[in-house]
Amino acid sequence: QSALTQPRSVSGSPGQSVTISCTGTNSDIGGYNYVSWYQQHPGKAPKVMIYDVTKRPSGVPDRFSGSKSGNTASLTISGLQAEDEADYYCCSFAGAYIYVFGTGTSVTVL
């Protein structure tokens, strides 16, 4: 149950695109299409932004998108906005009803 690997931080200017990677193994990301992404602002609870690799919950802007290739999932934020500055965590189902989170990425809007 090792944590998924994410970059510690990414940054971009308003309007730009940023992509956050999330690397796991064949036992988690590579084995299931159950990757989700969570946004967390300071002092707040996490909020799901993407689920089942590519799906967006109602109310999440379409500038958030997800993808997966092999053992690596990615979250892309297009048209970066000031309110997107937050921590982002990936999460994958890992079989046997176990879940594993990523190490977390801090997104800074310059």
Partner 1 sequence: EVQLVESGGGLVQPGGSLRLSCAASGFTFSIYWWHWVRQTPEEGLVWVSRINPDGSTITYADSVKGRFTISRDNAKNTLYLQMNSLRVEDTALYFCARVTSGQPHLDYWGQGILVSVSS
Binding site for partner 1 (CB under 8 A): 1, 3, 34, 36, 38, 40, 44-48, 51-52, 57, 87, 89, 91, 93, 96-104
Burial of 89 (C-beta count, 10 Å sphere; 0-12/13-18/19+): buried
CB of residue 89 to partner 1, shortest distance in Å: 5
Which one, 27 or 103, has the nearer CB to partner 1? 103
CB of residue 15 to partner 1, shortest distance in Å: 28
Backbone phi, then psi, for 77, in 5-degree steps?
-110, 115
CB of residue 101 to partner 1, shortest distance in Å: 4
HSE, side-chain direction, 13 A CA sphere, residue 8: 0
Q: Helix, strand, or coil here: 31?
A: helix
Which one, 36 or 71, has the nearer CB to partner 1? 36
